[in-house]
Amino acid sequence: MTVKPVKIRGRLKGVIANIKCLMPHPMETGTRRDDAGELIPAHYIRTVTCLHNDSEVMTAHWGPSVSKDPYFSFKIKTASVGDSIKVSWVDNLGETSSGDIVLK
Amino acid sequence: MKTNFSRRWFVKGLAAVAVIASFPGAAFARATGAFKADKTDSVVNVLFGDLPIEASSQITFRLPDIAENGAVVPATVATEIEDVTQIAIVIDENPNPLSAVFDIGESSVADVSTRIKVGKSSVARAYVKSRGRVFMTIREVKVTIGGCGG
């Protein structure tokens, strides 16, 4: 399976930046069975790290009960035009992906 | 060259330790299996230890009253409480009640949204940790189609 990048949208409202992310990922719980009745192994994002100008502003720790293709939004208190935002994740199989944008 | 190499690894190791130490709360949650706990009580015990849980009306916990599709339930937790360091979302009836823990940095607002799976109708709880106190608010969500059975 190819790992897809994180899609990010950022919107400045005054100094507050509203960041929305979409992370294509199966988020398998490990309790579902396929058509043959075999358990589908767990595969889910565990940690999401959000960087604002390379400093960590938010970390999300997830279990398998976050929905497939997770959506995540958060806000940064003091941001301005030209600031960089980077969001990356690591899943339980050690796979990783990220995405970044520049606020405008 | 060889000594250089090992020194670099040593420095990397130090950096890794520093990263873990800077977010003790949730690293602790992961290490001790808060996500593996199968009862809300044990989740809370692992996350917050002996801290008393205070009901609060200052937490905005947006969740649909009725979720048509339990596999995708939008959830938002926001609060006016100051100095929030952690937000957690717990769904009582899920096999593992803890859905998500967010470490809120100093420069981010205590306002997060995501989408979660809710297996069946359940009590949902949002916890907010600030200055060594833990606040909670409760919502109920009814699910018409399950989110975990597939």
- Shortest distance, CA A72 to any CA of chain B (angstroms): 5
User: Helix %, strand %, coil % for chain B, to 5?
Assistant: 25, 40, 35
pLDDT band, residue B1 (cuts 50/70/90): very low
Task: State residue B144's pLDDT score.
Answer: 85
pLDDT at B5: 55
pLDDT average, residue stretch A93-98? 95
Angle in degrees, CA A64, B123, B33, rounded to 5: 35
pLDDT of residue B8: 60
Q: Above 80 in pLDDT, residue B3?
A: no
Stretch B1-19: mean pLDDT, rounded?
A: 56
Of B71, B108, B115, which is closest to A75 when you measure between CB atoms?
Answer: B108
Quote the percentage of chain B above a pLDDT of 90: 66
CATH number for the region B2-143 comes to: 2.60.40.2470
Domain A7-102 homologous superfamily, CATH: Immunoglobulins (2.60.40.10)
Strand, coil or helix: B118:
coil
Give residues 11 to 40 of A whose Cβ lies within 8 Å of B: 16, 29, 31-33
The CA radius of gyration of chain A, in Å to the nearest whole number, is: 15
User: pLDDT by residue (tens digit) across A49-92?
Assistant: 999 999 999 999 999 999 999 999 999 999 999 999 999 999 99
Look at residue B17 and tell me whether its pLDDT is greater than 60: no
In sequence order, the 6+-apart residues with CB closer than 8 A to the CB of A94 are: none
Q: What are phi and psi of B65, to 5 degrees?
A: -65, -40
Which chain A residue has its CA at the smallest distance from B108's CA?
Answer: A76
Segments making up each domain of chain B, as ranges:
2-143
Name every chain A residue with its beta carbon within 8 A of the beta carbon of B83: none
Question: Token pair of B80, please?
Answer: 């006016």
Note the pLDDT tens digit of each residue in A8-57.
Answer: 999 999 999 999 999 999 999 988 888 998 999 999 999 999 999 999 99
CB within 8 Å: B95 and A31: yes
Mean pLDDT to the nearest integer, B3-12: 58
Q: pTM of this prediction?
A: 0.84
Residue of A57, A64, A68 with shortest CB distance to B108: A57
Task: Please calculate the CA angle A101-A102-A103 and round it to the nearest 5 degrees.
Answer: 115
SS3 at position B104: strand
Mean pLDDT value of segment B122-129: 96
Chain B positions in Cβ-Cβ contact with residue A56 (cut-off 8 Å): 22, 105
A-chain residue closest to B27, CA distance: A61
Closest CA to A29 of A74, A82, A65, A55: A65
> Per-residue pLDDT averaged across B35-39, rounded?
90
The interface predicted TM-score (ipTM) is: 0.93
Are residues B112 and A77, on separate chains, in Cβ contact within 8 Å? no
